[in-house]
Chain A
Amino acid sequence: MTPVWVRVWHWAIAILFVILVFTGVVLTYSTSRFALMDYGLADTLHQVTGILFSILIVLFAVAAGVSGYWRRYQRRWQNLSARIRRFGGYLVRGVPEAGADGPSRLELSRGFLILIQQWLSILSLLVLSPLLIVTGLVLLYPELLPEQVAGLGGIWPFALAHYWVGLIGALFLLFHIYIGTIAGFKRMIRGR
């Protein structure tokens, strides 16, 4: 059973992240004559949602630590790589011990993708989100950054890093939602 606070947190962070990706696209890919939304508003939204996102991630870390919810991730992580490899093998070669009555490739891919979902979730919490927060917060204070790096305005390494982490985050979002359509969204709505 997924606790209510985790479900509420999950959907809050999901909405914030969708806004962050959308406004990030506006901030990066607008032309001088066209923007998907008002650029200034996109910038404000990106900053506000970014700060809220950071706060929610920190709150989750604290709550998960205090409530012991983190153990669930610990259990999931155990042998996760091995299970992914095993399912990957099944997907390629089938399940030798099951013979002709074994699960179909589609079923196997479902299992494989659910394991990938677990891996992605843990990765997004432990690696992606902290990197996104750190690179984003740095960009909130450009006056503290070096004036020049490699002869160019000193913000670029941090902006590039933020962009790459955001890009991987957007890919995570794509796969996370798609695998959600396979595994079902019920657990994050009803709790089971």
Chain B
Amino acid sequence: MSTQSAKPVKTKVKLSTPEGRKKMKDAFSSPWASAAAIVIAMLWTIPTFGLLVSSFRPEKDINATGWWMFFVQPNFTLENYESALFQGTAVTPPLSQYFFNSFAITLPAAIFPLTLAVFAAYALAWFDFKGKNFIFFSIFALQVIPLQMSLVPLLQLFAKGLMIGEDVIIPPLGITGTYIPIWIAHTIFALPLAIFLMHNFLSQIPRELIEAARVDGAGWFTLFRQIVFPLSVPAIASFAIFQFLWVWNDLLVGLTFGGGVKDIAPLTVRLAEMVGTRGSNWEVLTAGAFISMIVPLIVFFALQRYFVRGLLAGSVKG
């Protein structure tokens, strides 16, 4: 093909060819649309950008002029980050401590529910038993229950155990003030959606594959370990990112199940507290906000594709 054949086809756009698709793309992207999109994107970014710029300005500058003045008097400092990360007050640890807590809460709170969900989804998708559909539908329906509805009794359960009349069903566990109640709470609240999504995925594994392995004499456990689990890794990864961000960004569970103990509180809890007590100390708040946002932003920009996939699959999370 020579370059001459690249004449515009005016009468009909053939979509089956790559050129045709390109034609249509061009027809769509009017300069006005592009301009509008860019303006909206800027509008959406300016608030975050302003805070980011401020976090690098000296305290004196932040309180004296608006952040946009940074471009007139560019005084750059890392002091805000340094003091936010490493200098606590007389009664509260510095943010680096809370940063560690956020990790320590988020990792297990993503791994536990995913493991249990894959297990349950495997059972619901491939075991044959009475009441299977009932259990699956019930778990699906549990997504209706807002977190707030289970909050108080679950907290009491952790603190006092479970009694029916005089009989102790579950003794007090003595785990208040550690990460464990937060892990368990996140696990429980994540299960309905995780099981539902994993079930959707696992039930798509070809029946022949499962049956062939069964005929070869693989038990249910070997089957899971050698075939089902390796096949479900992409789905697990997708939901893991979602759950990771959800737990990292959570405030309510950390606030209530952490029992107000500072040593185990995640970043969000500390930041919310700082807004209350040091509401106009912008040099601490700006840096603090970015310290809490850096991990989600890295995860988001590095794994955006998987994040979007998880979101599209599970857009009913609450």
B is bound to A: no
